Amino acid sequence: MADQQKELEVLLASTALGDRNAFQTLYSNTSPRVYAVLMSMLSDKATAQDVLQDTYVKVWSRASEYHSERGEVLSWIIAIARYRALDLLRAANRRQSFEQQAMAPQALSLSATNDFSDLLQECLDGLAQLQRRSILAAFINGFTHEELASLEKTPVGTVKSRIRRGLARLRECLEQ
């Protein structure tokens, strides 16, 4: 993981200096992760590909703004992509077709297969099942509190406090 981060940092630094080959390699190494998240959130290939483009155009133009305080390079790129996707979801009120979305049951059982680091897996395992499921569904699918409450047939207030407590617990565990 550390080697991969180091390699991505070098590629990003070269990208900031205008190295197109480094940028293309950075894209090749990170875009499958970014695209997977965008597809999970947007459920539409054309929109996900459009946001993927927006994301990497920003990565190219803002590569020099990255520094180690921003965390891992991949997380930085994922954040750019997710904020753009969230804007689109909220603006277009995507959930108009929410009720009939077949993806919903899948969304709530995402943690079945994953490639988490040992520490993250341990910390996620330390959460209550519903906390883990809600946090993952909000992150991976971009669900709002209201949408999660509707899916889980639970009051919105319950979902809010569950997520807030889960995130606080996740932070405590990851910082130990």
Contact call for residue 142 and other proteins (CB under 8 A) = yes
| Rounded least distance, CB 10 to other proteins, Å | 19
Contact call for residue 9 and other proteins (CB under 8 A) = no
Of the ranges 6-14, 97-105, 112-120, which one interacts with other proteins (CB under 8 A)? 112-120
Contact call for residue 103 and other proteins (CB under 8 A) = no
Binding mask 52-81 for other proteins (x = CB under 8 A): xxx-xxx-xxx--x---xxxx-xxx-xx--
CB 39 within 8 A of CB 45: yes
Contact call for residue 95 and other proteins (CB under 8 A) = no
The type of residue at 30 is T
For residue 164, give Cα distances in angstroms to 35, 62, 75, 86: 27, 31, 21, 19
Contact call for residue 22 and other proteins (CB under 8 A) = no
Contacts of 155 (CB under 8 A, 6+ apart): 149
Residue 10 or 31 having the CB closest to other proteins: 31
Contact call for residue 26 and other proteins (CB under 8 A) = no
Contact call for residue 16 and other proteins (CB under 8 A) = no
Residue 46 or 102 having the CB closest to other proteins: 46
Neighbours of 97 (CB within 10 A): 9
Of the ranges 6-14, 97-105, 143-151, which one interacts with other proteins (CB under 8 A)? 143-151
Binder of other proteins out of 39, 101, 154, 158 (CB under 8 A) = 39
Contact call for residue 162 and other proteins (CB under 8 A) = no
Contact call for residue 46 and other proteins (CB under 8 A) = yes
CB 24 within 8 A of CB 59: no
Instruction: Give me the phi and psi of 99, to 5 degrees please.
Output: -60, -35
Contact call for residue 21 and other proteins (CB under 8 A) = no
CB 3 within 8 A of CB 73: no
Largest CA distance in the chain: 51
Q: How far apart (Å, rounded) are the C-alpha atoms in residues 118 and 137?
A: 20
